[in-house]
Amino acid sequence: MKFKAIAAIRAIAFTATLLFQGCSDDGTPGRVLDEAANAGRAASTFKQSEDPYFHDMDGAVALTPQEVAGRNMWLLWSGGNDRFWDRMTQYTYGGFDLLKVISSHPSQGYSRTNRWTYLGLVNEPCFENAPGPNPQRRGLWLDVRSKDCAPDPFEDESKYPGVAVGSRGKPLGDGTTQPVGSFYGYATGILGLRLFPNPAFDEKAAKAWDAERFYTDPSYYNRKDLVRPYRVGMSCGFCHVGPSPVNPPADPAHPAFANLSSSVGAQYMWVDRLFIHNANKPEGQRNYMFQLAHTFRPGSMDTSLVSTDSINNPRTMNAVYDFVSRLGIDKRLWHEKLAGGELDNKQLNDFYPTGPLSEYWDKASATSRTPHVLKDGADSVGLLGALNRVYLNIGLFSEEWLLHFNPVVGGKEITPIRIADAQKNSPYWQATEQGTPATALFFLKAAQPDHLKDAPGGAAFLSADDAALRHGKDVFADTCARCHSSKAPTPPANLDLDADRCAGANYLACFKRYWSWTQTDAYKQSMRAIVQAPDFLQGNYLSTEARIPSTLLRTNICSPLATNALAGNIWDNFSSHSYKALPSVGTVTVSDPFTGQPVPYVMPAGGRGYTRVPSLISVWSTAPLLLNNSVGPFDTDPSVAARVRVFDASIEQLLWPEKRERDSLLGDKLPGTIDRTTQRSAVTIPIGFLPEQLQPTQARLRQWLHGLLPGLVDEAGGLVLGPIPKGVPVALISNLKLRPEPGDAVLVNAKDAADLVARLKLDLATAPANASDADLIQRFANLKAPMLELSKCPDFVVNRGHYFGTAEFNKQQGLSADERSFGTEPELSDDDKRALIAFVKTF
């Protein structure tokens, strides 16, 4: 029996290997061309539109034509990434399907009418719910444009001609011709998603297409060879447009453009429901991929989910505010050295050789005065480099990008995508580099703070007690301003905090000197005077953009452990030499997920171990709090009253840590909660996504496996890896490191990793049919030691840390020497905290 079971596991592994090979792109890195290049298109033919169609958004701010083009690029430009999002259906075994996301077929249980409450997606004004199948869109149930609205100007293919590749522009044998379309695509009724004719939809695909079965028949829509008539492209606006905090819609399902902001962030998006199209059905929730995505709280997502680093790491989709103040502090404090492929990033002075915007790059010293973008501050090569990288991460030039890793599942050595290759082989990338300077100008003009006092009824939520506000300012100065103010006293010369000398390897030592200074009475007295000044909030980014060591912050370490920006990894060209030279922060303390006991963990060097300080601008409108939205409740209502209510509850949990959610199994044995599977689940590969190599023997293989281990094959013939019981820590599985990586302190033995996976699969597959969840969890516990040894992030408590001003910060027992080295802090009284909250609401 044991021999046969091991043979079955090997058959599974063989199947998975063939499956991944079937999903991979063909080609040699550095030599493939994108679709635009193959069609002979030059980057100059993708000129961004200056049409002021979105004029009413962002407070109807007055924009120049160039700034309008920058906004249109942000909201519309997908740069050919519809190719990538079409393939994501294969990479997720049919779980993720944007063509279903934009649809309103009755079988789905969601449509335009409840899209906001169910998915948290922004309905574009001027559209109505699909009345039925649309014959002009191959029978798909898509939003239709309101009759009282003018046509979408960006669909005009004579002004914005699409890329004529494959079947585009060719007859389909049924009396129709596949359109070429606009390079902006067709509007879908959802801001940030655009529809493009699929160049693979040829005469054969047209004959095989059945729109009704696409929505209702799994044996049809789970076919790996199914060719859909359209692909869906995604713009940056998809994750960044949201209801305006100061002019919210009366009904979020029916906003006007005036009710929307380009930069506030998709704070209400349910990524778990978005990622698994049938998440509202029992079979969807039994999919482990749903259980993984379900750890993404609304408004957060793991941006490394596709180019996976094997760390479950959901992070908030932040608001973007006050670029002018942000660039000011970056020019003063954050000087990053660039080398190698990092030097291929475009800089602002490439486009603005004179004036203020030319001062952020020093070619002679290869130094960029730059924002620290992403939660770990990894995007550190300049503002334009950070903007441009986002387009790659959402699928631009996927022909090249997908050659460097296995999407979603990993299991392949990751190599860097080189900017030089994109500049040579992708007109879409070239056009993006030419367009993002205008987007930067747009944000410099439009991304202004949203103050509670300016919101309808907002004044009622602000304190009128001047004494309390003055006290709150002092509390902020003493406790918060050292991280959350870009206005600060000038450090004494003997601290040696020169911006150039403190970059890279010297950073941690400099930070510790800075932190010690902020604990002195001299610093606090000076900072109080600055905060009490009437102009304190004017031109204040309310962040230092500093990288805070995990040993001080004590929040979940999975974000600081992200590896995508390390030397030799996928985003190597988009992180600075200074980032890659950062030293280890030392030893942090995590919790055993089965007992709650403290466990020391040595943080690696080379960029990992730090979290960038977020801005507190308009924080009253952006709760829940912390980098993963884990502190505080969530409410689908974007009204002013609801935002303030959520903020009040969230900041109470921040300042009174004892009020935070506790773990469902271990309770107070942990300093917070662990994201656990909510019901029994499995990783299922539908039969339609199995490799063609196995199709001739599929019936025999299914019969053999089902007779040997029924838990490995479902009734339809799909492969099943499970059961994974309810209550198991999601990250215990998602964070497993099965390949060695450069710089690892402990090398992963490939055989040991394979043996662990085989043992776990076998333990689960051979469990009795009536095994309880507790019995199944024990099978995980039996393998706890090797699983934690192979974990890329063994910290499963998601809502811990940021204990400044609380008694929790001063509890030294169980902490490492590196954590204790930052000393203790004065504890705030309840009155102090209430006064601080009153002041923070004015931000």
- For 152, 361, 629, 724, 791, the CA distances from 732, given in Å and listed in that order, are 47, 43, 20, 11, 7
The Cα 518–Cα 524 span in angstroms is 7
For residue 517, the one-letter residue type is: W
Question: Mean pLDDT across the stretch 323-349?
Answer: 97
CB 294 within 8 A of CB 276: no
CB 652 within 8 A of CB 700: no
**pLDDT surpassing 80 at residue 540:** yes
- pLDDT at residue 547, as a whole number: 98
- pLDDT at residue 784, as a whole number: 86
The Cα 833–Cα 417 span in angstroms is 47
The tens digit of pLDDT for each residue in 592-620 reads 999 999 999 999 999 999 999 999 999 99
The Cα 3–Cα 10 span in angstroms is 11
| Size (the chain), residues | 843
Question: Mean pLDDT across the stretch 794-815?
Answer: 96
- pLDDT at residue 704, as a whole number: 52
Distance from the Cα of residue 527 to its chain's centroid: 35
* DSSP secondary structure, 73-87, as one string: HHHH--TTTHHHHHH
- pLDDT at residue 620, as a whole number: 98
Pinpoint the alpha helices (H) of 24-93.
Answer: 35-38, 57-60, 65-76, 82-91
Instruction: Band the pLDDT of 11: cuts 50, 70, 90.
Output: very low
* Burial label, 117 (beta-carbon count in 10 A; 0-12, 13-18, 19+): middle
- pLDDT at residue 700, as a whole number: 57
- pLDDT at residue 16, as a whole number: 47
CB 287 within 8 A of CB 293: no
Pinpoint the alpha helices (H) of 209-353.
Answer: 211-216, 218-221, 271-275, 282-285, 288-293, 323-333
Please report how the helices 2-23 and 698-708 are oriented relative to each other, as an axis angle in degrees rounded to 10: 140
The tens digit of pLDDT for each residue in 167-219 reads 999 999 999 999 999 999 999 999 999 999 999 999 999 999 999 999 999 99
- pLDDT at residue 287, as a whole number: 86
**pLDDT surpassing 90 at residue 717:** no
Nearest CA among 479, 674, 671, 675 for reference residue 588: 671
Nearest CA among 629, 639, 646 for reference residue 799: 629
- pLDDT at residue 714, as a whole number: 60
- pLDDT at residue 21, as a whole number: 45
**pLDDT surpassing 90 at residue 705:** no
- pLDDT at residue 703, as a whole number: 58
Q: Are strands 144-145 and 127-128 parallel, antiparallel or unpaired?
A: antiparallel
The contacts of residue 212 (CB under 8 Å, 6+ apart) are 133, 139
Average pLDDT value for the chain: 91
Residue 628, number of CB atoms within 10 A of its CB: 26
For the chain, percent of residues with pLDDT exceeding 90: 80
- Lowest mean pLDDT segment, chosen from 386-390, 397-401, 777-781: 777-781
For residue 279, the one-letter residue type is: A
Instruction: Band the pLDDT of 699: cuts 50, 70, 90.
Output: low
Instruction: Band the pLDDT of 413: cuts 50, 70, 90.
Output: confident
Which of 7-16, 370-379, 781-790: highest mean pLDDT?
370-379
Half-sphere exposure of 183 (CA within 13 A, CB side): 29
The Cα 679–Cα 723 span in angstroms is 10
The contacts of residue 17 (CB under 8 Å, 6+ apart) are none
Question: Mean pLDDT across the stretch 353-369?
Answer: 96
* DSSP secondary structure, 767-784, as one string: S-TT--HHHHHHHHHHTH
Residues 838, 459, 626: CA angle, nearest 5 degrees: 45
- pLDDT at residue 736, as a whole number: 87
Instruction: Band the pLDDT of 766: cuts 50, 70, 90.
Output: confident
- State the pTM of this model: 0.93
Q: Which residues pair with 368 in a beta bridge?
A: 336, 361
Residues 668, 673, 678: CA angle, nearest 5 degrees: 120
